[in-house]
Structure 1
Amino acid sequence: MNIHLICTGTELLNGGTLNTNLAFIGEVLRRDGYALRREVCVPDGAAAIGAAVREELQHADLVITIGGLGPTSDDLTRDVVADVLGVKLHLDATVLATIEAYLRKRGARVTPQSARVQAMVPAGATVLPNPNGTAPGLWCPAGAGRAVVMLPGPPVELKPMFVDAVLPLLRQGWPPELCSASIRVCGVPEPTVADAVDRIVAACPGVTPAYCARPGLVEVHLTAPPVAIASLADAERQVRNELGEAALPPGCSGMVEAVGNLLRERRWSLATAESCTGGALGALLTDRPGASDFFRGALVTYANEWKTALLSVRPETLAQHGAVSAATAAEMLDGLLSRPDVDAAIAITGIAGPDGGSAEKPVGLVFIGTGVREHRRVQRHLFPGSRETVRQRAAAAALNQLRFDLLHYP
């Protein structure tokens, strides 16, 4: 089947808002056995939205629109889609009562007209509940077995609505057409991963690979039709064998989860000390719920005086080798592991740029120390890219370095 997506909103085109909804919907569809075939983004305005809906309905079985369901003057998607489908809008008393109850519960005040606008429903549409906002989603038959589904733009509203309401209706109308497998690979360049995967997949009929590179991580997505599910399983097995420990365990979402699981298995604790990353590593570790099971805390020791006061880095080490050095990273690491409540530790010091580099110590130079109880090591890295990229790559490399330590020094 063909699923097309229309994202509406001038703010998406002028850089004011990052379109995270596209990535979310594409990933959820893939996991559920469907493929998003096309996406277009149009500015606010009835003409642009109407033209996009008409165009996509010529080629798609399901057209998903995002945005334009609110109460303001630029929220036009509901009216435009009804016009394209040739149906009337009517005030749905149940939807209106739900919106009013939602607003009362939160002590919010809006004009009665604002609530009524969002309670207008195209004839024949199925209302998709929105427990996280006011505007409901709308699933509208479009003739010839097609449908248009309208979703609100805020991700906090769209994401649960898509999973809880849209996917069940999608499955009722169209059976899944793809099987998929995902392999997340750490610390290996994307071209190296792709070379290995492409060689394996070439001998696995029906399997198609796709790649997504992130700092320190390459996601490999393999898809195949249901008739080739055995070939898909064989391809995944071969890829995992080829990549070895660089591949995260099946179902593991990333390095934070992998490190957290290894620490939980041992009932060990982790602490971090950061300089050039400025707390980015600690933020990654605490982005996922449950980090308190293993994470004790982080020190952001940007100044040399703090490295000495909080981590016992010797002034003579700083004077002789500098803050960005293997010796300093090692002493930062020792300072963390000297605490009786810390079993594993990470220390990072480097030059994120854009200034501060030299011929001897260029921008992007980072020393990462990791320790698992008595086992400790420091590795030198030279990361290319902007300040943000260097920080991201340093945090990712630190997690992967500790992951290997935990695998080899249990």
Structure 2
Amino acid sequence: MTITQPDLSVFETLESEVRSYCRGWPTVFDRAQGSRMYDEDGHTYLDFFAGAGSLNYGHNNPVLKRALIDYIERDGVTHGLDMSTSAKRNFLETFQNVILRPRDLPYKVMFPGPTGTNAVESALKLARKVKGRESIVSFTNAFHGMSLGSLAVTGNAFKRAGAGIPLVHGTPMPFDNYLDGRTPDFIWFERLLEDSGSGLNTPAAVIVETVQGEGGINVARAEWLRKLADVCERWDMLLIVDDIQMGCGRTGAFFSFEEAGITPDIVTVSKSISGYGLPMSLCLFKPELDIWEPGEHNGTFRGNNPAFVTAAAALETYWTDGPAMEKQTLARGEQIEETLAALRAEYSDDIVEYRGRGLVWGFEFRDKERANKVARRAFELGLLIETSGPEGEVVKLLPALTITPEELEEGLRTLTRAVRETA
């Protein structure tokens, strides 16, 4: 693909240096549909990024777009704080009937604000309020958001340093296989809990991702998650599952923890819950934990009614027959796994391993710079992929759940070419 130099002057002169994704994809995108994006010059890009997991149903999904347009055209409420609206009622009823009841999940629903970090902050606040304790345990290579409470339970040193102040009341523990299987699961954690001289105050909660996306596509075993749930129960700690990126069907089931057969005390959901890329997040928790005082946690944009509309449409369209969506996602995942296995065999000296679940996959390079080279070459070839991991050493694949087998195969061929041409 020949790419002419786009006019980026206004972005470079006026927009903050904090911008990041645009640096890896130096073009000006103009429109998008399904799994493809188009820049101002008409170049086409196959999207294996999906809005960092916010577009599980693709760009401008026609069913969701129609529901949104109809709602706007009838002058439906756009901004409603936490007022009761017909759009919110429809979402809550749909979420209860399509998602919660079929899974026998008892959760109350809280709308904490527009983004994932809002959901995490509310979860941490609630856990501390319920238990009357300050400490929260998180895991190595975790990522939970960019606000201060979320950063305190995030592992990445670069992200943490941006806080500018000490990040307290968070204690990291080894994630699954962090120690390469050399020690039994949770032996260090439980020893600290048992020992009054360990310096670890009894935590209010433990927060975990079942698959660490930003941390490098680190997949927790179902057995490990079940043991974690048991540790939390025995030591009177709440279990928070951060399903912001891995929920909404990304790993197959609607919630990523379903495979493990656990019921977390608190679950955070965002990104693809609106289905259309509109800001929306949820904090779900067991009813007995609902001890909030009215207005104790609020936010101006927690009532994003257009997001309620598209969220309800997404649930009705894709999850009324949940097993069908899950089966499709797992089949697409097998398609990716076959390609990554072939790449690993071809470049066994370069690729450490590949890992993933459902439609989130990554492969790690020994040369920490190689992943960025692959991502840059993929962009030149018309494929959008990002990197993850503490040193950006993992190529991360996050296509839409609605991607067709043909589009997926096209993208995987391009990915293979990018790997070969950067060898």
Structure number with higher relative contact order (C-alpha < 8 Å, ≥ 6 residues apart): 2
User: Which has the greater radius of gyration?
Assistant: 1
What TM-score do the two structures reach when normalised by structure 2?
Answer: 0.28
Counting strand residues as a fraction of each chain, which structure ranks higher?
1
What TM-score do the two structures reach when normalised by structure 1?
Answer: 0.29
Counting helix residues as a fraction of each chain, which structure ranks higher?
1
